[in-house]
Amino acid sequence: MIELLSKERCTGCNLCVRICPTNVFEAVDGDIPTLARANACQTCFMCELYCPVDALYVSPYADRSVDVDEAALTRARTLGSYAREMGWQKAKPRGAERDPTYRFRAAERDYDHTSS
């Protein structure tokens, strides 16, 4: 279950809002997203994989919430560990040249650039 959205690390890119299949996050104009429906989390880890700044922590316990300490997670290098284990860096899978899923980040950058 999603346990942490780091206010210090989050850049407000809202990629987690877009990628979450169960609509856990809520975008907030001019601010970082909120964990609006944490209980809806299905522990798929998609938000962790796509977060380019390791601002999210999904606990492997899908059936219950657990208390977490962001400082302890940071010291233990737990933030971003799932993405690293899967071979992803900065929201991009290894070998992504032929894998279109990384394009969520590219679409976000293009959208930000054209909307200003």
Residue 5 has a CB neighbour count (10 Å cut-off) of: 21
Contacts of 68 (CB under 8 A, 6+ apart): 3, 4, 57, 59
Top pLDDT among 24 and 60 is at 24
What is the reported pLDDT for 86? 84
What is the reported pLDDT for 108? 58
109 confidence band (pLDDT: 50, 70, 90): low
Top pLDDT among 34 and 82 is at 34
Give the model confidence (pLDDT) of 56-102 as tens digits. Answer: 999 988 888 889 999 999 999 999 888 888 877 766 666 555 555 55
Note down the domain range covering 81: 2-115
Quote the number of domains for the chain: 1
* Residue 20 pLDDT exceeds 60: yes
Rounded CA gap, 37 and 75, in Å?
Answer: 27
The pTM of this model reads 0.75
CATH number at residue 18: 3.30.70.20
Asked whether the beta carbons of 58 and 41 are under 8 A apart, the reply is yes
For residue 89, the 8-state DSSP code is E
What is the reported pLDDT for 12? 95
Asked whether the beta carbons of 36 and 26 are under 8 A apart, the reply is yes
What is the reported pLDDT for 106? 60
